[in-house]
Structure 1
Amino acid sequence: MSRGAAARSPCLACELADGRAELPGGTVLRTALWTVEHCVGPLGVGTLVVKPLRHVTGVHELTGAEAAELGPLLSRVSGAVREVVEDCEQVYVCLWSHAGRVPGHLHFVVQPARTADLDRHDAYGPALQTAQFAAGEAPEPGAVAEVCERLRGLPV
């Protein structure tokens, strides 16, 4: 069982973090409190998830140490995405923590807003994410592995 896990429904975020589920690209970065992984959904190559190793469902549940590490970590990860992902106009950072309308494992999505994606979907911001989910196209595993390897090479 993952850190902080109690008797509850299976948690994909915990399963990805502790190796019970396949994680395309592998772990990009892990600290004592947080992990950074490539998103397993259709949000495009270079979209990362920053999540606490401990299962929590809201920012209000973070410990002082987790909260203190969060801001600098999101800043570094966003900068790395901007540096590694070609055609990146902006980096979106948003909090997600629902699964089936039930609060789930807290995670921050760090998504490159690439010109090609903005043009293809004729959308930006939350509308881009909605369009990408509607299209349902997961990134090519080889491209995910390549971008993760490039990100691991940076001082994140």
Structure 2
Amino acid sequence: MTESGSTDQECRACGLIDGSQALPGGTILRTPTWVVEHCVGPLGAGTLVVKPVRHVVHVADLTVAEADELGPLLRRVSAAVTATMDPEQVYVCLWSHAGAVPGHIHFVVQPALKDDLARHGAYGPALQTAMFDAGVLPDEKAVADVCDRLRVALGAD
């Protein structure tokens, strides 16, 4: 959503929020200012995206309400990913570029699973790069199943 509250027609993140683009697993959690969805990229089943409902390009542009909710929500989502996926670590990072242009900010909450670390021989940002280079999208049924489990862990069912 733009500052005025309308959907940004060029923004994939907004399209996933408003339903104009397919979202495997559906919305996991929605608060008044944030939405939690499964990642649509190749970062593995259980990787979530936490993004503002409205179209925001810079963290500095978050409203007070959005900023106040962010830290507790990231902790809550990370705890749900930990409980559901049993990872070695949970990575939380901000992404906002698409085609070298800043876009709708989103925080990626990714379980660093032993199998992924071993398969790619990498961790941290190098693991994410290796997963993107491999380009393997998680199975949609696996995504739907993990989304259902995460809804329960988040009390959103």
TM class by shorter-chain length?
over 0.9
- In the TM superposition, 1:6-155 aligns within 5 A as 10-86=10-86, 88-155=87-154
CA contact (8 A) 2:8 2:55 kept: no
Give the C-alpha shift of residue 3 in structure 1. 5.4
CA contact (8 A) 2:34 2:50 kept: yes
Q: Secondary structure at the match of 1:42?
A: coil
Q: Distance in 1 between matches of 2:154 and 2:108?
A: 20
Runs of 5+ in structure 1 lacking a partner? none
Q: TM-score, normalised by structure 2?
A: 0.94
Q: Distance in 1 between matches of 2:15 and 2:58?
A: 18
Give the total of aligned pairs. 154
User: Percentage identity across aligned positions?
Assistant: 64
Structure 1 stretches of 4+ with a deviation exceeding 4 A read: 5-9
Give the C-alpha shift of residue 154 in structure 1. 1.8
Q: Distance in 1 between matches of 2:15 and 2:128?
A: 24
CA contact (8 A) 2:8 2:14 kept: no
Give the C-alpha shift of residue 122 in structure 1. 0.2
CA contact (8 A) 1:3 1:53 kept: no
The residue identity in structure 2 corresponding to 1:95 is L
The residue identity in structure 2 corresponding to 1:152 is R
Q: TM-score, normalised by structure 1?
A: 0.94
Q: Distance in 1 between matches of 2:103 and 2:33?
A: 18
Q: Secondary structure at the match of 1:104?
A: strand
